[in-house]
Amino acid sequence: MRALKFLVHKLGKWYLDKICKREYESQCFQGVNERLVEYRFVFQSLLLTAPRYVLDVGTGVTSLPHILRTCGFEVTAIDNIRDYWPKGMFNRHYYVINDDIKNTRITKKFDLITCISVMEHIKNHEAAIKSMFALLNPGGHIVLTFPYNE
């Protein structure tokens, strides 16, 4: 059993290394986008509020929850994986719970909730906002961003 586990881990690491190398080698500068401004706003908000528990809503495949965890926060990441992503979604940076923020099953409370460029994809955004407020600890904060271009 130990040998099998070792082999599976070795194959998994080899596979992820190949994916990372392919992404590295295929980089092509496409210009800076609004994500730079959005992440700056997130980190500025984190510095000002100093939360312990953070919920990231609509994580997708981003590394934001992993970066937040590296900064010391206790992070929960959610996304509506089965309904929003028709072919499924896997985040190789962080564990993402399949949950619909409009009708969340999460009961834990958070000091800060991030929702970065997600609300424009949610038809019933009023229900999403209501759920986020219900998940906040007293005095908690919600950090929302939206894409902007002309």
Question: Residue 14 to residues 10, 11, 21, 24: CA-CA distances in angstroms?
Answer: 6, 5, 11, 15
pLDDT band at 114 (very low <50, low <70, confident <90, very high): very high
**pLDDT per residue over 7-17, tens digit each?**
999 999 999 99
Q: Are 112 and 139 in contact (CB under 8 A)?
A: no
- The confidence score (pLDDT) of residue 82 equals 82
- The confidence score (pLDDT) of residue 150 equals 56
pLDDT, mean over the chain: 94
Tell me the pTM: 0.90
Helices (H), 26-145: 35-49, 64-70, 81-84, 125-134
CA distance 13 to 114: 30
Question: pLDDT at residue 149 above 80?
Answer: no
Which tokens sit at 86? Answer: 């028709």
